[in-house]
Amino acid sequence: MLTNATRVAAIAEVRADEPDVKLLLSILESVPGLIAYWDRNLVCRYANAAYSNWFGTHSCTLIGASSRDLLNHDSFAEDFPYMQAALTGQSVRFERSIRKADLTEAIIVVQYCPDYALDGMVRGFSVFTADVTDLKRAQRELEWSARVIEASKKAVVVANEGGIIMSVNACCVRLTGYAAAELVGTSVNRLAREDEEALFETLLKRRLDHGTWNGALTIRNKTGDMVSCEASFSLVNGRDHHDVTRLVLAFEDVSDKLAHEQALQRLATRDALTDLDNRFSLVHQMAQFLADADARGGICAAFFIDLDDFKTVNDTFGHEAGDAVLRHVASCLTESVRKSDVVARLGGDEFVVLLNNLAGKATIEEIARRISSRIQQPVELDGHSYNPSASIGIAIRQPDGLTADALIGLADSAMYRAKRSGKNRIQFIDADACD
């Protein structure tokens, strides 16, 4: 391959001995871009080293060659309209694929710039060509990445390290109700619930373990509604410390999922008729309930409540009326105790109430009488007024005393004593029964 010096000597036909011309030619030969010159007859008058190498030859061979001879038929047919435009004085820029001398495909950007003679006529045009194959490949990868993000079923927000939103995808627009233009340029905190803005701030300050965070997050949409989401924060750093950092927030609406899980949880732990805790939930809570009572050092009590003559209600008025009585009793129980106490329906017409942190027996008896009085309030059944009643058995537990099963068992025994004593009664069990 010819040296730069040889190429310069071959193409410097006019005033080549002048220093400025030699310097200019030396510069043209050293630049990596493809530079050439074609006259009005489409004959090459100059080609730098990069241009020559592209065609697998050297400038001495290219100079004097016709573009029709240099380019294959298809390439010439594609380029010819641009050449004609340049010869009419138009500056032309276009992009196309081309097969190089080594038979590899490349994408080039070509610019034809008209060259005017002193009389104002176009005498040829300069050619500037850049190989943008790698750039286009990277651009396609970015486009595909953008398409993947845009098609994602998760909402994606990209913010700068200051928390300013740079871009959002279509799913984010659908989920939040904001148009992309409404979010871009604003703080990512715009999507945060007020009591979770501190979390956003923490994440924005790059206090992320291993660059990521995953967890539950509540997103505030355009209407102000809160959307339960599963979210992840990721920090994307550049290749070196000079590159900017991006914060990527991806989230998806799990409201339906949570609602379904809560419904299943309710089915498992709540009584379908009264919405009280069911037997499973009662058993599950009792151990912790008694542990809390022991930690406080207070007295706790178990009420076992059974309706009197409930079978008569079902037989006389029907099962719908019986259900109404059960819901009435459930309401009476929840209204008579604290939120910290446990109220459960075991099944049928049997209920259990657990109370803790009690002052003594007098307080327990007062609560029991309040429950009994409320239960006896009339209930309308098929146009008839019915006054339910209940037998209530009570077992009292001192700190570090009875187990949960023993406590409920004693309250059950007390309830049966109340039944045998004439019903509609309150019966405490003697502590000696624990022995």
Q: What is the DSSP letter of 222?
A: T
Residues of the chain with pLDDT under 50: 1-16, 206-207, 432-435
The identity of residue 346, as a single letter, is: L
Whole-number Å distance between alpha carbons of 46 and 10: 10
Which pairs with CB-CB distance under 8 Å and at least 24 residues apart come from 289-293? Answer: 289/342, 289/354, 289/356, 289/404, 290/397, 290/403, 290/404, 290/407, 292/356, 293/356, 293/357, 293/397, 293/399
H, E, C per residue of 335-374: HHCCCCCEEEEEECCEEEEEEEEECCHHHHHHHHHHHHHH
Whole-number Å distance between alpha carbons of 179 and 271: 44
Joined tokens for residue 180: 């992309």
Q: What is the pLDDT of residue 38?
A: 92
Q: By CB neighbour count within 10 A (0-12 exposed, 13-18 middle, 19+ buried), where does 120 fall? A: exposed
Strand extents, DSSP E, 103-225: 105-116, 122-131, 155-160, 165-168, 212-220
Name the residue among 124, 118, 192 with its Cα closest to residue 159.
Answer: 192
List the domains of the chain with CATH numbers. Answer: 4-136 (3.30.450.20), 152-258 (3.30.450.20), 270-434 (3.30.70.270)
Do residues 174 and 219 lie in contact, with contact meaning Cβ atoms separated by under 8 Å?
Answer: no
Whole-number Å distance between alpha carbons of 119 and 235: 62
Whole-number Å distance between alpha carbons of 426 and 303: 10
- Sequence-ordered alpha helix ranges (H) in 42-113: 49-54, 59-62, 67-70, 73-87
H, E, C per residue of 13-27: CCCCCCHHHHHHHHH
Task: Name every residue whose Cβ is closer than 8 Å to that of residue 314 and which is 6 or more positions away in sequence.
Answer: 321, 322
The identity of residue 296, as a single letter, is: R
Q: What is the pLDDT of residue 434?
A: 45
Do residues 71 and 79 lie in contact, with contact meaning Cβ atoms separated by under 8 Å?
Answer: yes
Q: What is the pLDDT of residue 12?
A: 45
Q: What is the pLDDT of residue 435?
A: 42
